[in-house]
Amino acid sequence: MDDSDEALMLRAGRGDRAACEHLVERHLGRVVGFARRTLGNRADAEDAAQDVFLRVWSSARHWKRGEARFSTWLYRVAMNICLDRIAKKHESGSRNGTELADERPGPAAAADAKQLAEVVASSLSALPDTQRIAITLCYYQGMSNRDAADVLGMSVDALESLLARARKALRANLHMIAPTLFDKR
């Protein structure tokens, strides 16, 4: 039996819950990771991922094979849900927070790695939404520029320009937030 994403989506569209569950098992970790980097914390990311897979189930019967790759469509859904959540937070006046650091002491190398991860997460969260999403899709999710451009609904050239601006802004943010952290390396 064909267990490609597209075949599973078609089966889910016919009411096959097991097919939908298989899609969730296959993609949940990556969707949560994308949402965490986009939204800034794990709790919001898990809520967003739940909404993504509810949308997968409710849209399955309308999904057509060949119009888009399932993974591209899935990340498009995830991006839209994350952007909606960001907009709602901005409307309500609440700030988009980041996860708190683990305060337990550890070896120096682990502490440096944790500090670097926090600085990068903070710098990433300071980027405009589209730049943060482009960086997340290409560098954290491992998507090709073509697939990321499809998710964002833009040309590859526009995506590459967006990535260049995002990398430049990240470098500036990183040096501004923690200039001494990079002097050690």
User: What residue type is assigned to position 92 of the chain?
Assistant: S
pLDDT of residue 67: 75
Contacts 24+ apart (CB under 8 A), 4-8: 4/70, 5/69, 5/70, 5/71, 6/65, 6/69, 6/70
Alpha helices in the chain (DSSP H): 5-13, 17-39, 42-59, 70-92, 108-125, 129-135, 145-152, 156-177, 179-183
User: What residue type is assigned to position 102 of the chain?
Assistant: D
pTM check: above 0.75:
no
Region 31-53: mean pLDDT is 93
For the ranges 3-12, 142-151, 166-175, the lowest mean pLDDT is seen at 166-175
Question: pLDDT tens-digit profile of 80-109?
Answer: 999 999 888 877 764 444 444 444 445 555
Measure the CA–CA gap between 182 and 185, rounded to whole angstroms. Answer: 5
pLDDT of residue 99: 47
Q: Residue 157: pLDDT above 60?
A: yes
pLDDT of residue 107: 56
